[in-house]
Structure 1
Amino acid sequence: MHETRGRVRSDDDAQVSPATYAAGKTVSSHTPAGQGLIFGVVKVPHVRTYSTTPRSVPSPQVTLLSPLVATPTFSKNEKEHCTSASVESEETQMDSAIDLSDASKALDLGNIRFQLIRLEDTITFHLIERVQFPLNGTIYKPGAIEIPGWDRSFLDWTLFQQEKLQSKIRRFESPDEYPYFPDALEKPILKPLDYPKILHKNDVNINDQIKKSYIDNFLPGACPNFGRDDRGEREENYGSTAVCDIACLQALSRRIHFGKFVAESKFSTETELFTKLIQDGDREGIANAITKPAVEKQVLARLRLKAETYGKDPSTGADGPAKINVDAVVRMYEDFVIPLTKEVEVDYLMQRLQAE
């Protein structure tokens, strides 16, 4: 039995007793066999709470994976993750984080910094959700799971289908979103938003590198060892694993490609310096000009604190078990998030003087 999250609910509909709510207690309840253990946190001011009552979700009409032995349809985890990882539109991101309808606000370094800090939270929480499950390396191997008309991995198929759907509701119309599968995109069913010109025209998209680094470098060190081998699609939560991976990958992509906004902002404030470096083809000089070692140390220290804090149940105290390998999270940022962000910045600036 593994841990699964309850549905996110608002304070006014959290199904807990008044006495428990008034006391501000952490509550837990066992659900029927095969549905796992659901934890709920109550009375957190201005913060959504987790319901302690599972809800039923209709089984999908078509499944690619063989059913799990314990249940003939998607597991409780898969149902909950499919619901909680619903498509987040670009309007929500714009309204709650950074205003992409105003180029001056979008390129303000203070606003960009705030957005990058918010993304640290997003990425950390997504990673904590992912490591509930073992590595499940089968889903990353082309052809390991038979899918009609598809010769790539199960993760790639799931990501392709997700981006196909998200493109229809304008996700990739937003200037801060980049698809892993550009050929999956379809015409949106919603009318286009009137975004101003923010970035110079460019073709920088390093999602293939992001996905490779995430699968090859981060996951092996972060996923816990459950003391068993991959048991196959009838016993492992492949669907839930892929949904969690997609949430992580898309958040990482957004974080890393935000380097374009940083680069454009720096170019606008130090145009003469960067123009000369670009004309000289001096990639190393550009990299040195955009690198702030002190800031990078602050980012890593802040990320470590967040991973340590978010990865602990407050009711168990500082000595309680950790939900995630904190060192693996910090190494991920140090070894590939920060370096790949710099690569995006340099690649973008190298195209900055090209005619549009």
Structure 2
Amino acid sequence: MISSLQLPTYPQELEAWWWQKALTKWSDHGEEKILNLLRREIVEQSDRFNKKRIFDLGAYGSRDLSILAYGNFFFPRTWYAMNLCLAEAHFFRSWKKSQKGPIRILDLGSGSGASSFAVLQFLNNLDLDNPIFLNAYDYSGKSLGFLEQIHGALKRLWAKSKIQTKRLDLTSNLTKEKNQKYDLILMGYSFNEIFERREMEEKEKWMEDLTRLLSSNGILIVVEPANKKSCQELHSLSSQLISSQNELFLHAPYFNNHSCPLISNSSKYYSHEVRKIPITNRVQKINIPLNLEMNQVKFGFCILGKQKPKSYAFDSTICRVVSPINKKKGTLNFIGIGGNGMEYRYEIQRRDLKNDETKILTKLERGDILKIKNGLVGKDLTLIRVPNFESVTWPFAPRWEKA
């Protein structure tokens, strides 16, 4: 089985809390009627975010129906995406908070708190002695109200934390916050919404101001939808930021402060994760007639920080998988970005693999980080022939604990 790390799954308490909220809101409705209400809103939300690209207050954050539909259906996927990013920062990129003092977190565009609670629970599970303070900003006061309710109702999941919420136009200047430094700044699917139809120069200036709010070892985690436009823009922006700021570094998704090469070459792939996730019982029930793909989460992300990133080999012996694992012409092959920021194609002959080894390798996910030992290079320097199964290890391949 492929797994370098077993992560806890979405809390049943959160799932139950959201459903109870729906039951309370429509106490005179039967279960199926409530499910159908949520289903219609979920379809509408999906169209708003993916087709119409409407992000004003009326589109989401002003109505209980919209928030409850999101909470019961989409909230777990955002929780899983942010959990994976923080797991990589902590377990693979060696981000550590100092032993003394509080951990300060800023969640911009927090909504009802999917990213916030993923991080609060993650830190709680580390059993740290540090107190944790979270500031959550959003344009929707109603969404922030739900965030506060969840925090108070499920305190066991984030026992050492305190929160403060603020309703705020996030396109405004962030310099008013400059006196406070943060160890973690989160943007969970919010950047593309905040700056829809804005010029790149405006986005870069805003992000420069934001990174100045990081503490000396702080990191900024930006998660974006897995469409090509959002991902390419995110990686282009992160590349510009590290070029213009000497004290800012790119920790992920790639290695050694290298930007994404896929934004400038002719690759058929673009940089995003495709991760399998467990489906909650409630999501499964809501999804029966919708038949949406809910057993995986797709997202682009980057991690920026003030400290120099952890160093890895500057060659093809380490890579991040950026394509599906393909079976073609008697081989298994995939595209990976190496420690030198270059795109490589890795290939292993299937005749050199046992059946169970083939099954294991085909379960690699887009986003897994591999080490390749004794890879063979021919005339094509970008083609790496992997001699056997034992040549492949996976230092970062997170999977979810069994229920």
Normalised TM-score (structure 1): 0.23
Relative to its length, the structure with more helix (as a share) is: 1
Relative to the length of structure 2, the TM-score reads 0.21
Q: Hey, which of these two has a bigger chunk of strand by percent?
A: 2
Higher relative contact order (CA 8 A, sep 6+): 1
